[in-house]
Amino acid sequence: MINKVYIILLILVFLSAKSGHYSTINFFLLWYIRLFKQYNLYPFIICNTIGTIATWYSAVLLDYTIPYRMMQKNNWSCGKFIMGDIMLHIVPLLQIGKMLYKFEYLHSHMNLNNSNKPYEIVKHCGFYSLFANMLWSLIYQRGFELNDRYVPLPTYKWNIVWGCNVISHLIPMIYMNSFTLFNSNPSSPPSSLIGSSTTNKF
């Protein structure tokens, strides 16, 4: 059964998408999940944040004129752009470090019957976050070349950026799966205990 909180978050993403870039949307989702301690959504937001940040910096590495052109397009000063970059990319990255530590702590120490344990969506969390990112692009850009929302790039560069996007969403999922109940480690708790809580299950 799909988690109601997850549905609410997706609705918020798409309602707010027209007025912001995906990094902005991710920023508010991240703080919502952190402040309200939605531990079951940690895997999703970890993948989403790492994917968003890696995609942005891969684009900048491909075309170093992107920051300058975005400042011109949006009439931003250099200081405003740098502050925005820190708030939307660097700060979330630091938060993700804390969340990964918390995730490992929950995996190692919390009671198996705790309904907030984030096991339920770990196995496919990278696919969920990637799907949200791609659906956002399809709905509001009607494609994967985000020339209007960001700045124009050649098609081959957009292909590389989206390739980086896919990889960066999936790598955190693989990492988290390496120490969750879904691996074959004999020290992991029995799989029969995973379903002991149904509150946050899908």
Residue ranges covered by each domain of the chain: 4-184
Directed axis angle between helix 125-141 and helix 22-35, to 10°? 140
- The SS3 of residue 144 is coil
Confidence at 126, pLDDT banded by 50, 70, 90:
very high
Q: What is the value of pTM for the model shown? A: 0.76
**What are the tens digits of pLDDT across the range 62-98?**
999 999 999 999 999 999 999 999 999 999 999 888 8
What pLDDT shows up at residue 10? 63
For the chain, give percent helix, strand, coil, nearest 5.
Answer: 70, 0, 30
**What is the secondary structure of 65-133 as a DSSP string?**
THHHHHHHHHT--HHHHHHHHIIIIIHHHHHHHHHHHHHHHHHHHS-TT-TT-TTTTTTTHHHHHHHHH
Which pLDDT tens digit goes with each residue over 138-180? Answer: 887 889 999 988 999 999 999 999 999 999 999 999 888 876 5
Q: 190: alpha, beta or left, given left = phi > 0 and alpha = psi -120 to 50?
A: beta
